[in-house]
Homo-oligomer: A and B are copies of this chain.
Amino acid sequence: MSQKNALPVTRQEDFAAWYQAVIQEADLAEESGVRGCMIMRPWGYGIWERIQMLLDRKIKESGHENCYFPLFIPLSYFAKEAEHVEGFAKEMAVVTHHRLKMEDGALVVDPEAKLEEPLVVRPTSETVIGTAFSRWLQSWRDLPIMVNQWANVVRWEMRTRMFLRTSEFLWQEGHTAHENETDAMAETLTILQMYRDFAQGPLAMPVIAGEKPENERFPGAVATYSIEAMMQDGKALQAGTSHYLGQNFAHAQNIRFQDREGQFQFAHTTSWGVSTRLVGGVIMTHGDDDGLKVPPQIAPHQIVIVPMLRETPEDEALLAYCAKIRTALIDASAFGEPLRVLIDKKPGKAGPKRWGWVKKGAPIILEIGGRDAAGEQVTMIRRDSLYGEDGRLANQAMHWESFVGQAPALLDQIQTLMFCSAKARLDAEIRDDVTDLEGLKAHFEGSKYPGWVAVDWCRPTGEALEKVVEQLKALKLTIRNTPEGSAPASTTCFFTGGPAVERVLLARAY
């Protein structure tokens, strides 16, 4: 196994095929037979549950309360917010009937059970939540209103890719209403920081936070901010967005209140979300040719113990030894939580089981045989440094108590190293020395995984921006965002030669 890797395809050979292979070999998800919808299997869903749990804590700590709003939105709600609907892809799932019936022995949609008004399966909930806000809001004393929901949403997609673009996906959507622009912008940026810290913390995924250009704004938003992560093929993944909606939605949905002077005002609203797409980001940030590597903070099991069972009476003593180690481990904490430790008792040989956990990306694997037990030892494999300098699988034997003692620090270290390694790659793969379109073209066509390019621009709007977007589109490039606090390095706009006001990142993107 020294030079051959566990996956049938490498990242260099075919990144897209490698991505699918990781998902399959790590048992993360699978096609469901329902177009565009995937099944999240326990290991994949377990990662999402960890993300959800940790992010939910941050959302609550920052003063938001969870609610639940309806799956269905009457068609007329969308008509209210013209700009929102205009910009939004109209590919949505529409419920038109509410009953099935048997006809000639076959199950069919009952034509008599047609709904008076079609119901749209929510693609996002601004319209229905805004309508609730308009009922809840009377006076400035009711502000801010800060809610969040964890839910499934549907956007009909023609070309789907698991975790990255599926017709149904899971997400959280935060919605808030404020007295004035200052408060609403502060919220929008607080959330942007929360997302950045969450990506760079638990996900160990470095990101660039910044404002999206006008053409990439959420339909109806005044400003859209994103965190952008770089995948190992150099493409950008928009991993979370935070929108300042101004008073646009408030006008459309009559979200108004009596201010401190007794005057009626429209509220300033925000919305923000991250989705199961983050799991795709984790795969393409941390995976290697042996499968996934899951950052310890979001690993459903941080340490997996694989006993070398032989279906003999000695198995019992071996399992008891493993149980003793597990008991000691779950008594310890890392990242402020008890360690998560699994003993894999499934029938089967230890070798394939070990490789199964390598492909799944459990941070630490302990292989324990009769000899280890006799010597009070464990044999440890670290998923983040699988091979030694000789190219062979690196495992390390040590006394079990010694392992237990160092396990929390080890997990902490693995988390940090995973972030640093990804951060070094991100930093190395952003060029800022490209000076014209020709150079841009040469760069992106001359490399298989070309990374990103930072350029200075004049922040054009309207038609001037459209022209830039067209130029980039010809190179399959998009404008990702303007990194926070980035000043232009030069005085002239890359595109128009006019005065530059800020930097923007250009990249191919998912």
A93 close to B72 (CB less than 8 A): yes
Q: Which residue of chain B is the closest to A74 with respect to CB atoms?
A: B34
Please tell me the size bucket of the interface on A. 35 or more
A residues apposed to B, CB below 8 Å: 30, 32-34, 37-42, 45-46, 48-49, 65-75, 78-79, 85, 90-101, 106-110, 118-121, 128, 131-132, 135, 141, 147, 151-152, 154, 156, 168, 170, 346-348
Taken together as a complex, chains A and B put the C-alpha atoms of A152 and B154 apart, in Å, by 13
| Cβ–Cβ < 8 Å partners of A69 in chain B | 32, 39
Scoring A70, A74, A90, A109 by chain B CB atoms within 10 A of each residue's CB, the highest score goes to A70
Bound state CA distance, A447 and B132, in angstroms?
41
Bound CA–CA A34/B168 (angstroms): 21
Query: Which residues of B sit under 8 angstroms from A42, Cβ to Cβ?
Result: 65-67, 147
Q: How many copies does the complex hold?
A: 2
Q: A71, B37: Cβ atoms under 8 Å?
A: yes
A46 to B56: give the CA distance in the assembly, Å. Answer: 13
Chain B residues with CB below 8 A from A93, complex form: 72, 95, 97-98, 119
CB contact between A79 and one of B65, B106, B170 (< 8 Å): that residue: B106
Q: A72-B37, A107-B75 are in contact. Are A91 and B96 (CB under 8 A)?
A: no
Q: How far is the CA of A118 from the CA of B96 in the complex (A)?
A: 10
How far in angstroms is the closest Cβ of chain B from A206? Answer: 28
The interface residues of chain B lying within 8 Å CB-to-CB of A147 are 42
CA–CA, A74 and B36, complex, Å:
12
Nearest residue in B to A49 (C-beta to C-beta)?
B66
Q: Are B78 and A100 in contact (CB under 8 A)?
A: yes
Smallest Cβ-Cβ distance to A89: which chain B residue: B99
Q: Which of A38, A100, A101 has the most CB of B within 10 A?
A: A100
Closest chain B CB from A59 CB (angstroms): 12
Q: Please tell me if the beta carbons of A97 and B94 are within 8 angstroms of each other in the complex.
A: yes
The one of B66, B95, B97, B346 in contact with A45, judged by C-beta atoms closer than 8 angstroms, is B66
**Most chain B Cβ neighbours within 10 Å, of A73, A96, A120:** A96
Contacts of A119 in B (CB 8 A): 34, 93
User: Are B91 and A99 in touch, CB under 8 angstroms?
Assistant: yes
The closest CB in chain B to the CB of A117 belongs to: B35
Q: Are B96 and A68 in contact (CB under 8 A)?
A: no
In the complex, what residues of B have CB within 8 A of residue A46's CB?
65-66
